Amino acid sequence: MKFTKVEPAYTSKHGCRLVWKGIDEDDSDTVILNKDEFDSLVEILKKDATGKITLDDQVSTIIINSDVIQFTLQGHPLLEAETFEMQKQVLEYAKIPHEPQYLHVSSKEFNPSRWIRKDAKETHQMPESTDEQNVRQSLMHAILNSNPEKTDQSLSESDVFRIFASRRSTRKFAKTKIEDWKIDKILAAADTAPTAGNFQGLKIFYVKNDTTKEALVEAANKQPYVNAPAVLVFCMDPSRVKLKFPPKILEKFSMQDATLAASYAQIAAAGLGLSSIWIGMIDEEKVMSILGTDLRPSSILCIGYPDKKRPPKSRRKLKELIEIIE
Ligand SMILES: Cc1cc2nc3c(=O)[nH]c(=O)nc-3n(C[C@H](O)[C@H](O)[C@H](O)COP(=O)(O)O)c2cc1C
């Protein structure tokens, strides 16, 4: 079903009806929002923000992500609408002038980036060019020039940019056991990482055994937090990379494959409310011997619930990180 329009709510003078329609004539669904609920939605959309609204029944929710708005309402199937589409219609209905923003990224403050509008090329902010490189470069300018906003605690949990912006490594884990389904999700996320030629030149060892974890502490320069609730060792497997390149290149590819997979796992863990510490300081030979493998490890990712939630660390200015080659 696709979100199609906003119209007056006949039962509530100042509220509205949001209408979804399917392919079939009879296939439709309608959500009625009262004034307060509608005002909350308008408030978030007019700021190009993300967030969560709990409806009056205290059970139903609307989650506004940068790309999609999800309505989880009692008595309805999950209804979704593209944020861009709903924002346009809702703000028009509320008679709030709104200039579509094609990109807004604030990377330093705790706030998610925005998405690239579908109509980006039609807005005046986008230079008229079909040249791919120019487009990318103007996006870079937009990133560099955007103003950071302050933290909005109501931001949606599922916004990937929120996860990037709020992730913080942990070296002190709570004793809480990690749910198996979360581990499954982390491993599945690692498997979605790109790999050279899609040959998946890596292997992940999921260490559950306490003795092995202790041995890994030793192999990691005695870093005690390696003995974490979940320990993943990312190893390179260049033999899987069936590309006609010298062994050195294949080695390099598998190192990148393993590193990227670990990075995806780290982000996934953060998205699941967990925290992690990336361990690069390892004695490779020792790790290989502990795991009984001839695959060289690239990193160990130690995951758990953080003992204490802490804000993300600061970074150098984005302008210092990036050099634009005009
Ligand atoms: C390649 C690499 C190697 C790292 N090795 C270690 C390590 O051996 N021990 C450790 O405690 N942290 C290690 N870290 C974690 C970094 O210290 C940490 O990510 C950094 O301070 C930034 O903090 P943040 O992750 O909270 O943003 C490593 C991180 C990376 C990316």
Per-residue model confidence as pLDDT tens digits over 15-27: 899 999 987 777 8
Q: Around Cβ 190, how many Cβ atoms within 10 Å?
A: 24
* Residue 103 clears pLDDT 90, i.e. is over it: no
Among the listed residues 273, 124, 95, 306, the one whose alpha carbon sits nearest the alpha carbon of residue 186: 273
Ligand 1 binding residues, C-beta < 6 A: 168-169, 171, 223, 277-281, 312-313
Atom index in ligand 1 nearest the CA of residue 313 equals 27
Pairwise CA distance, residues 166 & 45, whole Å: 22
Q: Which two tokens stand for residue 218?
A: 């030793």
CA of 152 to the centre of ligand 1 (A): 27
Contacts of 308 (CB under 8 A, 6+ apart): 172
Helices vs. strands in the chain: H and E counts, helices first: 9, 11
Q: Which atom of ligand 1 is nearest to the CA of 225?
A: 11
Q: What is the residue-averaged pLDDT of the chain?
A: 85
Q: What pLDDT is attached to residue 104?
A: 42
Measured from the CA of 168, which atom of ligand 1 is nearest? 26
Q: What is the pLDDT of residue 18?
A: 95
Listed range (90-99, 186-195, 278-287) with the worst mean pLDDT = 90-99
Where do you find CATH 3.40.109.10 in the chain?
Answer: 180-304
- Mean pLDDT across the stretch 249-259? 98
Mean pLDDT, residues 187-191: 95
The rounded distance, in Å, linking the Cα atoms of 264 and 160 is: 11
The whole-number pLDDT of residue 172 equals 96
Judge residue 171's burial from the number of C-beta atoms within 10 Å of its C-beta, 0-12 exposed, 13-18 middle, 19 or more buried.
middle
Could you tell me which of 295, 290, 315, 164 has the C-alpha nearest to residue 237?
295
Instruction: Express each pLDDT in 13-67 by its tens digit.
Output: 778 999 999 877 778 899 999 999 999 999 999 988 888 999 999 999 999 887 7
In this predicted structure, the answer to whether residue 171 has a pLDDT above a threshold of 90 is: yes
pLDDT of residue 146: 54
Q: Can you give the pLDDT at residue 141?
A: 53
Both tokens of 66, joined, read: 């940068």
Q: How high is the pLDDT of residue 110?
A: 32
End-to-end Cα spacing for the chain: 45
Q: What is the pLDDT of residues 265-324, one digit of tens each?
A: 999 999 999 999 999 999 999 999 999 999 999 999 999 999 998 889 988 988 899 999
Ligand 1 atom 3, closest CA: 280
Please classify residue 198 by burial: count the beta carbons closer than 10 Å to its beta carbon, then call 0-12 exposed, 13-18 middle and 19+ buried.
exposed
Distances (CA, A) of 45 to 38, 51, 56, 98, 108: 11, 9, 19, 10, 22
For 122-153, the pLDDT digits (tens) are 444 444 445 555 555 555 555 555 554 444 44
List C-alpha distances in Å: 283 to 76, 86, 131, 232, 293: 54, 53, 47, 16, 14
Taking CA atoms only, the protein residue closest to ligand 1 atom 25 is 169
Atom of ligand 1 nearest to the CA of 220: 8
pLDDT of 120 strictly over 50: no
What is the whole-number distance in angstroms between the Cα of residue 297 and the centre of ligand 1?
A: 16
On whether the CB atoms of residues 235 and 297 are closer than 8 A, the answer is: yes
Would the pLDDT of 201 be above 80?
yes
- List the structure tokens of 240: 């899987």
3-state secondary structure at position 43: helix
- The CATH number of the domain covering residues in 180-304: 3.40.109.10
Give pLDDT, residue 138.
Answer: 54
* Percentage of the chain exceeding pLDDT 90: 60
Instruction: Please state the rounded mean pLDDT for residues 189-205.
Output: 97
